[in-house]
Amino acid sequence: YLHIGRGLYYGSYLYKETWNIGVILLLLVMMTAFVGYVLPWGQMSFWGATVITNLLSAVPYVGNTLVQWIWGGFSVDNATLTRFFAFHFLFPFVIAGATMLHLLFLHQTGSNNPLGLNSDVDKISFHPYFSYKDLLGFAIVLIGLTSLALFSPNLLGDPDNFTPANPLVTPPHIKPEWYFLFAYAILRSIP
């Protein structure tokens, strides 16, 4: 979100190809997060899948068919879980391709200089100066995520999602994860 906010502030949206691929990347990452959220098959993930996939039924003419295709039947069930697992596996490859396209367009247009000054005067080569800094940052993030996944994998999980999925019992307070709160606010503002 910070990257998009920076792009809005500095006018990066004027480079339409780069901006549009970036928006597509955001949507792909959100879809990957959503289908991954469903995989534990807990109470919150089951009802999250039910509510969000039912939103697609609002698409004119093909909405109900689209929802049934995603579900693999007439309700969220084991076929849905299998499909979401496949999507969760395939989306990162699509994201990698879209990222390469995004970087290709960024390389063609150039990134915005926030100062608006000519920066050709004191350029330094990318490698080795920035390569080593990027490698250090990547190593720190990788160590942090690996430590989180190995030593406390349930730290960021919703407690209600540890209850097995039951289509007969709706949780009293369904709320999305933090990365979907902006979309949830938009959805709640529509009557």
Residue 189 a catalytic site member: no
- Domain ranges for the chain, please list them: 2-114+157-189
Residue 77 a catalytic site member: no
Residue 17 a catalytic site member: no
Helix/strand/coil (H, E, C) string of the chain?
CHHHHHHHHCCHHHCHHHHHHHHHHHHHHHHHHHHHHHCCCEHHHHHHHHHHHHHHHHCCCCHHHHHHHHHCCCCCCHHHHHHHHHHHHHHHHHHHHHHHHHHHHHHHHCCCCCCCCCCCCCCCCCCCHHHHHHHHHHHHHHHHHHHHHHHCCCCCCCHHHHCECCCCCCCCCCCCCHHHHHHHHHHHHCC
| pLDDT per position as a tens digit, 118-176 | 666 677 777 888 889 999 999 999 999 999 999 998 888 888 889 999 999 988 888 88
Residue 134 a catalytic site member: yes
Catalytic residue among 57, 111, 131, 147: 111
Q: Look up the pTM and report it.
A: 0.83
| pLDDT per position as a tens digit, 89-101 | 999 999 999 999 9
> Which CATH number is 2-114+157-189 given?
1.20.810.10
